[in-house]
């Protein structure tokens, strides 16, 4: 009897001739998540198995795998040889462990992928259920709402388990290319990064800070957000961009009501340069339509005009409660609400324009030559690999 983590993947099954590529990428991510735990990972018959994980590391391994994009669910199971007596004895021990907590009803689920096995799935359920009732007469069968769900899968071995743990789902990280996330210190942008990483994007991140108007703690907060996000997405290349000079130039020379939109345009221009250097093919923001003045349709169009790369906004139709719920789920919420201001909130005008005209925005931006400031900001940008 061997402890095995039986790993299922969902959407990867739909990939046709490209499926082996996605499976290889998923296995790479699983091995990375389990590095240091002496695990052996293999794939067979539409399942992935992790062997050799010590009992003391089992919970840690499960926690890491639930975060791996591409995994639909997993089950801690016992792998045994396909002899009927061995299957029955192991199943009985598993049910006894579950019944020790006071559970009194069960049901057997069987899947026979090995068509050479001498019993079909229906027969396995019937015979194994009868064996358990003979040995544990205090139990009863409940096919509608059982307290113990005993599952048996007949594959290269027989895998026996009672739990199916839901995981992140989505597509394996790196299968959809790379995107550059504009990472602020707020609630929204980490959620946006998470959602697109779940679709297979590998992330770079760009953060703008305005020292001394923003503190070192605000910067540390963003590094921590990137670290939490990386537990789901894998390593993130974080670019920390000084933005004070550009903000002051906008503040001193441009119409006050347009400063927010102009700052967003300059941020996007810098982020696009960094994205291209990193091999990213899209920018990602946490903007939600109408949430603030800079996120009206007119403002978003004015922002898009500053760059040629596509801008992905996965939260565009979300309200704040939707976003907050995801932030709590992925563990970024408590860090995001720490009261350290980011550069976007320091220079907010009292009456920002909500329906900017693109011609006016371009005219205001032309009042200042930002090219040398952008070069200095890029030169002074710090880069950190957050794993």
- Asked if residue 72 lies in contact with residue 14, where contact means CB atoms within 8 angstroms, the answer is no
What confidence score (pLDDT) does residue 213 get? 78
For strand 236-242 and strand 202-209, is the pairing parallel, antiparallel, or unpaired? parallel
Q: Which two tokens stand for residue 87?
A: 């299957």
Q: Which candidate, 88, 81, 82, 78, places its Cα nearest to that of 117?
A: 82
Rg (CA), the chain: 27
Backbone angles phi, psi at 303, to 5 degrees: -70, -45
The reported pLDDT for the residue numbered 345 is 58
Exposure string of 346-384, with b = 16+ CB inside 10 Å and e = fewer, is bbeeeebbbebeeeebeebbeebebeebbeebeeebeee
Per-residue pLDDT at 292:
86
SS3 of 2, please? strand
pTM here?
0.90
CA 75 – CA 381 distance, rounded (Å): 44
CA distance 292 to 319: 12
Residue 312 has a pLDDT of: 98
pLDDT at position 19 is 87
Q: Looking at the DSSP assignment, which residues form a beta bridge with residue 108?
A: 150
From first to last of its 387 residues, the chain has per-residue pLDDT tens of: 789 999 999 888 777 788 889 999 999 999 999 998 989 999 987 899 999 998 899 999 999 999 999 999 999 999 999 999 999 999 999 999 999 989 999 999 999 999 999 999 999 999 999 999 999 999 999 999 999 999 999 999 999 999 999 999 999 999 999 999 999 989 999 999 999 999 999 999 999 998 887 778 888 999 999 999 999 999 999 999 999 999 999 999 999 999 999 999 999 999 999 999 999 999 999 999 998 888 999 999 999 999 999 999 999 999 999 999 999 999 999 999 988 666 555 566 778 899 999 999 999 999 999 999 999 999 999 999 998
pLDDT of residue 110: 97
């Amino acid at each position: 009897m061997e402890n095995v983590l039986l790993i299922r993947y969902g959407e990867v099954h739909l990939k046709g001739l490209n499926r082996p590529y996605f499976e290889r990428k998923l296995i790479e991510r699983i091995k990375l998540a389990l590095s240091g735990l002496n695990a052996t990972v293999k794939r067979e018959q539409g399942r992935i198995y992790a062997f050799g994980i010590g009992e003391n590391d089992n919970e840690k391994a499960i926690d890491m795998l639930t975060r791996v994009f591409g995994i639909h669910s997993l089950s801690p199971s016992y792998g045994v040889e396909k002899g009927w007596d061995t299957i029955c004895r192991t199943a009985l021990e598993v049910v006894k462990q579950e019944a020790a907590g006071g559970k009194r009803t069960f049901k057997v689920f069987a899947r026979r992928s090995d068509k050479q096995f001498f019993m079909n799935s229906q027969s396995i359920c019937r015979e194994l259920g009868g064996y358990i009732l003979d040995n544990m007469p205090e139990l009863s069968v409940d096919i509608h709402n059982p307290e113990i769900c005993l599952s048996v899968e007949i594959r290269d071995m027989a895998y026996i388990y009672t739990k199916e743990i839901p995981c992140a789902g989505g597509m394996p990280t790196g299968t959809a290319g790379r995107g550059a996330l504009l990472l602020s210190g707020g609630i929204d942008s980490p959620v946006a990064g998470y959602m697109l990483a779940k679709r297979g994007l590998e992330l770079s991140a760009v953060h703008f800070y305005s020292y001394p108007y923003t503190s070192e703690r605000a910067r540390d907060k963003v590094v921590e957000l990137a670290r939490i996000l990386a537990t789901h997405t894998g390593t993130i290349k974080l670019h920390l961009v000084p933005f004070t000079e550009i903000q002051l130039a906008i503040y001193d020379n441009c119409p006050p009501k347009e400063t927010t939109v102009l700052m967003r345009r300059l941020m996007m221009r810098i982020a696009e340069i960094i994205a291209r250097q990193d091999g990213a093919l899209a920018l990602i923001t946490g903007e939600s339509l109408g949430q603030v003045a800079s996120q009206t349709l007119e403002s978003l169009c004015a922002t898009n005009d500053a760059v040629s790369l596509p801008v992905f906004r996965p939260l565009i139709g979300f309200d704040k409660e939707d976003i907050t719920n995801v932030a709590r789920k992925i563990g970024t919420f408590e860090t995001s609400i720490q009261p350290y201001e980011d550069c976007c909130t320091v220079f907010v005008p009292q009456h920002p324009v909500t329906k900017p005209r693109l011609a006016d925005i371009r005219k205001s931006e032309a009042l200042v030559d930002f090219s040398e400031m952008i070069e200095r900001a890029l030169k002074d940008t710090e880069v950190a690999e957050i794993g």
